[in-house]
């Protein structure tokens, strides 16, 4: 893991308008990701506030679904994200 890169991601998160609770959760989650993913996350987070908000919303949705074990809800989230990604191509 690249400590300098993680510090840049943390700085972007700390400077964002998301809640302090979301900042703490997000930093803890991202700290375990490989450098290649953190590079992309940093580009998304520094590209726009909406990018970070979208990431936080998706993270929270998935965490909630995983906590209750709702496979149908999980599949719906994944399908929604796949449609969104296809629209970007």
C-alpha dist (Å) from residue 45 to 71, 72, 79, 84: 29, 29, 23, 18
pLDDT tens, residue by residue, 33-49: 898 989 988 988 888 88
- The count of domains in the chain is 1
Instruction: Find the domain containing 44 and state its range.
Output: 3-88
The model carries a pTM of 0.74
pLDDT tens, residue by residue, 45-74: 888 888 888 889 888 999 999 999 999 999
């Amino acid at each position: 893991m690249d400590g300098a890169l993680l510090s840049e991601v943390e700085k972007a998160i700390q400077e964002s308008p998301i809640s302090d609770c979301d900042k703490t959760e997000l930093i803890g989650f991202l700290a375990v990701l490989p450098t290649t993913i953190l590079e992309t996350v940093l580009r998304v987070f520094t590209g726009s506030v909406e990018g970070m908000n979208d990431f936080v919303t998706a993270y929270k949705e998935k965490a909630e679904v995983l906590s209750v074990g709702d496979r149908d809800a999980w599949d719906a989230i994944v399908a929604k994200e796949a449609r969104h990604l296809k629209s970007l191509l």
